[in-house]
Amino acid sequence: MSEIILGLSIVSLLIWIYLLGFRGQFWRMDQRLPDGELESASVCVVIPARNEADLLSITLRSLLTQSYSGSLQIILVDDHSTDGTAEVAKETAESLGKAAQLQILSAQPLPAGWTGKLWALEQGIQKGMELQPDYFLLTDADIEHDQNNLRDLVSHAIADDRELVSLMVRLRCVSFWEKLLIPAFVFFFAKLYPFRWANDPGRSLAAAAGGCSLIRCEALIRIGGVAAIRQALIDDCALADAIKSTGSKRIWLGLTPTTISLRPYDSLGTIWNMVSRTAYTQLNYSPLLLVGAVSGMFIVYLSPVIGILTGNSISLLTYALMTLAYFPIVQFYRCSFWYAFCLPAIAFLYLLMTIDSAVKHWQGQGGAWKGRTY
């Protein structure tokens, strides 16, 4: 048994050396959107909204009060809401004297073969094409945008010739469970899709964050719109891949501390549901990949703890490297540094969420969101 533990300890150490030194420096979390200059490009914002009345007065206001100097029109697609979402949107725009900047569409019934969000986006984009904008900003209804966010997005897209510029917005991190698990959600995403590699035109890897994505109109037309990815549950990365694989390959993804998601995840259950909704999708619904993912998570995150408990000094070094890698995202989310030492326990919870995602798929439950199951 001691030989097995020693072998796992060595493998885990080698993996962490690779992750820190040769995985696009994902752990540094240093890809940030630079401050931009005033730009005059025209932008059409499309917001799919399903029962978002509680947050919309804040998030829509943040878009209507942007410092952006160019033409800005907003299309909100009310996706069969039952809480007065459309009325809140209308009242918010009227209270700012900007009703002319907002169009509200009532979504048509969801056709077969589409996810609800992408069908809402499709309708908003088709309406927006009538405006012939230079760019579309696809954003979620729970995102509160920094006053200069649109200016910085457009400026970077133009100055750096990017067809897609997207931001991993700062997720809400207030409750205990959010502080424990949300930074890890971003950490694991960045490990799978290193931002520097996604931003490198010379690499095929593509990634985006669907909550805030600015897309050049001609690139969206070239790929056939969101209809090309209409069945994707992880639609942001699917869109990025479609754009990068067919055009200039110049896309960009980064973090922002100032544009934030207001959606709360107050309990373990809400975060669990968020992750399990798409975790097995990420593994292409493959039992073989599931076994590989579970085995990999055990070796990378859990075996060092077992090694430490058995007095293995190699495992202690591995644990130190793991903590070092996790600290920047803990710092980004302004959490106590003690959370950086909790990564093995956090990874164990995510491992259980991944297994649960597969079990739900096998039971035919799929990914549930806003009353719909896919």
**Is pLDDT of 311 > 90?**
no
The predicted-structure confidence for 2-12, as pLDDT tens digits, reads as follows 788 889 999 99
Mean pLDDT, rounded, for 313-317: 94
Query: pLDDT-derived band of residue 113, with 50, 70 and 90 as boundaries?
Result: confident
> pLDDT (tens digit, 9 = 90+) per residue, 94-110?
999 999 999 999 999 99
Which segments of the chain belong to CATH 3.90.550.10? Answer: 31-265
* Range of lowest pLDDT (198-212, 247-261, 353-367): 353-367
Q: Bin 176: left if φ > 0, else alpha if -120 < ψ < 50, else beta.
A: alpha
Q: Which amino acid is at 206?
A: A
Average pLDDT score over residue span 42-58 = 96
**Residue 366, pLDDT above cutoff 90:** no
Which amino acid belongs to residue 267? S
pLDDT at 368: 54
Residue with the larger pLDDT of the pair 311 and 124: 124
What Å distances lie between residue 12 and 5, 17, 101, 146, CA to CA? Answer: 10, 9, 54, 40
Q: What are phi and psi of 215, to 5 degrees?
A: -125, 130
pLDDT of residue 364: 81
pTM over 0.85: yes
Q: Which fold has domain 31-265?
A: Spore Coat Polysaccharide Biosynthesis Protein SpsA; Chain A (3.90.550)
d(CA 241, CA 224): 13
Percentage above 70 pLDDT, the chain:
97
- DSSP states of 61-74 as a string? HHHHT----S-EEE
Arithmetic mean of pLDDT, 179-185: 97
Q: 209: closest CA among 260, 264, 152, 248? A: 260
Cβ(249)–Cβ(161) below 8 Å: no
Q: How far apart are CA 255 and CA 167, in angstroms?
A: 6
Ranking 86-95, 129-138, 282-291 by mean pLDDT, the lowest is 282-291
Which residue(s) pair with 261 in the sheet? Answer: 143
d(CA 46, CA 231): 19
Task: Give the per-residue pLDDT at 2.
Answer: 76
Token readout for 69 is 């100097």
Indicate whether 76 pLDDT > 70. yes
Q: What is the pLDDT confidence band of residue 230, given thresholds at 50, 70 and 90?
A: confident
For 136, 157, 350, the CA distances from 243, given in Å and listed in that order, are 14, 14, 30
Predicted pLDDT of residue 1: 65
pLDDT at 284: 87
State the Cα–Cα distance between residues 297 and 350, nearest whole angstrom: 9
On the 0-12 / 13-18 / 19+ scale of CB atoms within 10 A, 336 is exposed
Query: If you count DSSP H runs as helices and E runs as strands, how many of each does the chain have, helices first?
Result: 15, 10
Instruction: State the average pLDDT over residues 354-366.
Output: 88
- Averaged over 29-38, what is the pLDDT? 91
pLDDT digits over 254-286, tens only? 999 999 999 999 999 999 999 998 899 888 899
Q: What are the distances in angstroms from CA 371 to CA 69, 81, 85, 96?
A: 39, 11, 16, 32
The confidence score (pLDDT) of residue 248 equals 87
130 band by pLDDT with thresholds 50, 70 and 90? very high
| Residue 69 near residue 99, CB atoms below 8 Å | no
pLDDT (0 to 100) of residue 156:
96
Of residues 40 and 127, more confidently modeled: 127
pLDDT, tens digit, 9 for 90 and up, residues 212-221: 999 999 999 9
Give me the residues paired with residue 168 across strands. Answer: 255
What is the distance between the alpha carbons of residues 49 and 64, in angstroms, rounded to a whole number? 16
Average pLDDT, the chain: 93
